[in-house]
Structure 1
Amino acid sequence: MTSCKPTKEEHIRKPDWLKIKLNTNDDYKGLKKLMREKNLHTVCEEARCPNIHECWGERRTATFMILGAVCTRACRFCAVKTGLPNELDTAEPERVADSVEIMNLKHVVVTAVARDDLKDGGAEVFAETVRAIRRKNPFTSIEVLPSDMGGIEENLRILMDTKPDILNHNIETVKRLTPRVRARAKYDRSLEFLRRAKEMQPEIPTKSSLMVGLGETEEEIIEVMDDLRANNVDIMTIGQYLQPSKKHLPVKKYYSPLEFGKLRKIAMSKGFSHCEAGPLVRSSYHADEQVNAAAKQKQLLGEEKSAITNN
């Protein structure tokens, strides 16, 4: 793969393919106003997602971040605030559900800060948020993106029992770099989390995301793909790591769109039902399209099994 190694100049000026189109139209402004009125947090804002103008201004989608805006972990790639979280907001699930209804969303992503201060890792609030959305928005598909919840199986079961349409948990980086990049998280524990989710609810698609540009090799990226497939992960997203601030890890390499295209082809050859790969791709980028792709794959598999049984 060709290299675009960072120089002193590149830390100031990103490559042309990382330029972002700003769209502060009425949809963007209205959604921002709604979030403030409902006292809701989005990972779009808190993690400084580069796609916020596209998602809010054009696609009118958002990723809600529950359990507050303060994370108990201090991952060296993430812009979300770290510290001691506030008490749980028991009214938050209903406010999220109300906002989904007002926005008339066909697909919603619900993520959360890590809450290692809670015995259940926030599983009950996650589950209640899913139930609240379902009550008020029965035709909206729901994707959940939790932390590893301490790796405790019962915490995951509480969430999986609500039967979300997609279970998403991010591997974030390659195995070698995990201790440096992810605070308190473990590579193998994330794989186990994804495997257990599939075992609990085999019909629910699982998904994971990888950042590149932190110093990994192509061989290590392929190893992540193989590890995810070995644990029955269906969907993968691959995006460029961008340094949120000077205190975060520096970018080691900017991957070109052609390189992302190659990675997508490799991922699809491994058997993923869908792979989104590109410089600005993030875990919930075009999530509505991914749930449709997963549903179509599920339907095809069902038809194949039915044909085999009938024959």
Structure 2
Amino acid sequence: MTVLDLLHDDPRKKTGAALRHPEKAGRPDAPILRKPPWIRVKAPGSKAWTETSGLLKGAGLATVCQEAACPNIGECWEKKHATFMIMGEVCTRACAFCNVATGLPAPLDPTEPERVAEATRALGLTHVVVTSVDRDDLDDGGADHFARTISAIRAACPGTTIEVLTPDFLRKAGALERVIEAGPDVFNHNLETVPSLYVSVRPGARYFHSLRLLQRAKELNPATFTKSGIMVGLGESRIEVMQVMDDMRSAEVDFITIGQYLQPSRKHHPIAGFVTPEEFESYKTLAYAKGFSYVASSPLTRSSHHAGEDFAKLREARSRQALANAGGR
């Protein structure tokens, strides 16, 4: 049995889907397609994985690795890498692709930023990724909590680079400014899919608002690396994916991630098809041709997978470009 079997095919997950996602209970069951050989990964269980799990459990912290049923959890936790998910485990949105529970979240925990910082130090992370659920119930969408978490990590781990993967802060004036003011090294916000699929896949969001958020982040601090990702296999066309790439470049996004959508349960959006590794390589070639500084494109690519290594390569690419520009003067 693979980790994907454990995370996606566990019958207990199917039985609990309506309870975990009451808003999806009315959707017809969508058969879960059998995964091709290039999707399968080994189940976790190493000593290092157990140690990471124990540390996170002891700190009372949530991770997107668990909540989103990430297929790379075995690999990442074995390396003692984890993506922290702040502001609780309940989201105010009901995206059709997402495994995170939907409902009314609990109040924010004021001690969470310091606990994330301590866990970052304990894990010895040189690059940390912090994401969150959507918190439409908060006046600032949780922007101040993000900023406090960034500040706490800076204080506890001054040598650690920080990447944030934020919600869209829809209709939350000043929220993005608060996050960028805190000085993350990477600002990430995922477009998730092509515009034509937003109504069925990401109904609570607006494509052009998300695009503008990325553009505005770069305007607020041009030194901040911006990053965004999409899933494929949801029913998009190749032309639509290319258009999203162009839109991202128009917004000066530095780094794009492209990965295969995997259906968490029968109540979630069905998989329209599996994109082959060769197609992912083709997307990578196209993205570099369009001007991205760094591209991660593979079936198992996720926003925070290999984030530290990718950030180092992204920074190197910017340095090379700066040298090339200086030499051309």
User: Which residue, 248, 255, 271 being the options, matches 1:251?
Assistant: 271
Find the partner of 2:175 among 150, 155, 164: 155
Q: Which residue of structure 2 aligns with residue 283 of structure 1?
A: 303
Tell me the C-alpha RMSD between the 2 structures: 1.2
Task: List gaps (5 residues or longer) in structure 2.
Answer: 1-30
> What is the aligned partner in structure 1 of residue 232 from structure 2?
212
- What is aligned with 1:6? none
Is 2:319 aligned against 1:299? yes
Deviation string for 1:223-253 (max 9, x for gaps)? 0000000100000000000000011001001
Where 1:233 maps in the other structure, the secondary structure is: coil
Could you say which residue in structure 2 is the equivalent of 1:22? 43
The residue number in structure 2 matching 1:274 is 294
CA distance in 2, matches of 1:52, 1:188: 31
Task: Please point out which of 86, 89, 109 is paired with 1:66.
Answer: 86
Contact 2:164 2:184 in 1 (8 A): yes
Equivalent AA in structure 1 for residue 192 of structure 2: E
CA distance in 1, matches of 2:46, 2:92: 35
Distance in 2 between residues matched to 1:263 and 1:302, nearest whole Å: 25
1:173 aligns with 2:170: no
Kept in 2: contact 1:165–1:291 (CA 8 A): no
Residues 22 and 54 of structure 1 are in contact (CA less than 8 Å); yes or no, is this contact kept in structure 2?
Answer: no
TM-score, normalisation: structure 2: 0.89
Identity %: 47
Does structure 1 conserve the Cα–Cα contact (< 8 Å) formed by 2:32 and 2:263?
no
Superposition pairs for residues 131-142 of structure 1, below 5 Å?
A: 131-142=151-162
- Check conservation: 2:293, 2:318, Cα contact below 8 A: no
Q: Is the 8 A contact 2:32 2:266 kept in 1?
A: no
Q: CA deviation at 1:14?
A: 1.1
Letter in 1 for 2:84: F
Over residues 187-217 of structure 1, what are the superposed CA-to-partner deviations in whole Å (9 max), with x where a residue is unaligned?
0000000000000010111000100011000
State whether residues 207 and 233 of structure 1, in contact with CA within 8 Å, keep that contact through their aligned partners in structure 2.
Answer: yes
* Aligned equivalent of 2:102: 82
Asked whether 1:33 is paired with 2:54, we answer yes
With over 3 angstroms needed to count, the CA separation of the structure-2 counterparts of 1:228 and 1:12, relative to structure 1, is: closer
Task: Report SS of the residue matched to 2:195.
Answer: coil
Mapped partners of 2:282, 2:259: distance in 1 = 13
Partner Cα separation in structure 2 for residue 33 and residue 183 of structure 1: 36
**Offset of residue 12 of structure 1:** 4.8
> Comparing 20-29 with 92-101, which one deviates more in the overlay?
20-29
How many Å separate the matches in 2 of 1:223 and 1:152?
A: 27
Aligned to 2:122, the other structure's residue is in SS state helix
Deviation for aligned residue 1:305: 4.1
Could you list the runs of 5+ residues in structure 1 that have no partner in the other structure?
1-9
Quick check: 2:139–2:172 contact (8 Å CA) kept in 1? no
